[in-house]
Amino acid sequence: MVVGIAIVVIGGLALLFGLLLGYAAGYFKIEGDPFVEQIEMLLPQSQCGKCGYPGCHPYAQAIANQEADINLCLPGGEITRHTLAELLNQDPNALSAEKPLEEIKILAVIEESQCIGCTLCIQACPVDAILGASRQMHTVLAQECTGCELCVAPCPVNCIQMVSVQPTLTTWKWPYPVVSLPVKPPQLFKSEEVELLL
């Protein structure tokens, strides 16, 4: 009997709190800007701050408000620059005078013989590109590293260096053309020409 009453009371409280939370979620809902979210989805989400903004969301807001150029995201590279240009109908090759785009990819390299396994670099890496465990040697996954340099400062023994990656036969890409082709507006047919085509 006591167990049944306890179950009913706890179930009633759970139902009441569930209804209150459901109402509060609808009442206090914050509407986001879908255009900012669309821009943010194209960014690499490394939260590195190399663009001059504290993260990818503030940078996306600045792009949407036309307060920032689309070429400030260094970890995103040319792919991000071109997809943002396509979305915003801008020139992807326009470089910012304030912060020129680095075309050579850089990545972190840990001098494994000096690593003490403190895990501070693992905690600082926003994309989980560093493998290792406490008091064990750490290493960087080159495919995942965005070159944000956030792991360098926390290292107490300065065993992390940023090195430039020279293109190889497998990573080299044709440069994009710098001459933009004129886009002709679509031709509109007269009603007689449409009838002739049918």
Q: Express each pLDDT in 26-72 by its tens digit.
A: 888 877 788 888 999 999 888 888 888 888 899 999 999 989 888 88
The reply to whether 197 falls in a domain is no
User: What pLDDT is recorded for position 100?
Assistant: 46
134, 162: one domain:
yes
Q: In the chain, how many domains are there?
A: 2
150 vs 124: CA distance, rounded Å: 6
Which domain does 149 fall in, by range?
104-169
Q: The whole model's pTM is what?
A: 0.53
Q: What is the CA radius of gyration of the chain?
A: 26
The reply to whether 141 falls in a domain is yes
81, 41: one domain:
yes
User: What pLDDT is recorded for position 122?
Assistant: 92
95 vs 50: CA distance, rounded Å: 15
User: What pLDDT is recorded for position 187?
Assistant: 56
The reply to whether 174 falls in a domain is no
H helices present in the chain, as ranges: 2-27, 34-42, 56-64, 77-88, 120-124, 191-197
Name 38's Cβ contacts closer than 8 Å, sequence gap at least 6: 87
The reply to whether 14 falls in a domain is no
User: What pLDDT is recorded for position 101?
Assistant: 46
148, 116: one domain:
yes
165 vs 153: CA distance, rounded Å: 21
Two structure tokens written together for 1? 């009997």
Question: Which residue bears the tokens 């049918």?
Answer: 198
74, 112: one domain:
no
43 vs 8: CA distance, rounded Å: 49
Two structure tokens written together for 47? 């939260």
- CATH code where residue 54 lies: 1.10.15.40
20 vs 14: CA distance, rounded Å: 10
110 vs 169: CA distance, rounded Å: 25
User: What pLDDT is recorded for position 178?
Assistant: 57
Do the Cβ atoms of 178 and 93 come closer than 8 Å? yes
Give binding residues as ranges. Answer: 48, 51, 56, 73, 115, 118, 121, 125, 145, 148, 151, 155
Do the Cβ atoms of 106 and 147 come closer than 8 Å? yes
Give binding residues for [4Fe-4S] cluster as ranges. Answer: 48, 51, 56, 73, 115, 118, 121, 125, 145, 148, 151, 155
Q: Which residue numbers in the chain have pLDDT < 50? A: 95, 97-102, 194, 197
User: What pLDDT is recorded for position 142?
Assistant: 87
- CATH code where residue 133 lies: 3.30.70.20
User: What pLDDT is recorded for position 176?
Assistant: 61
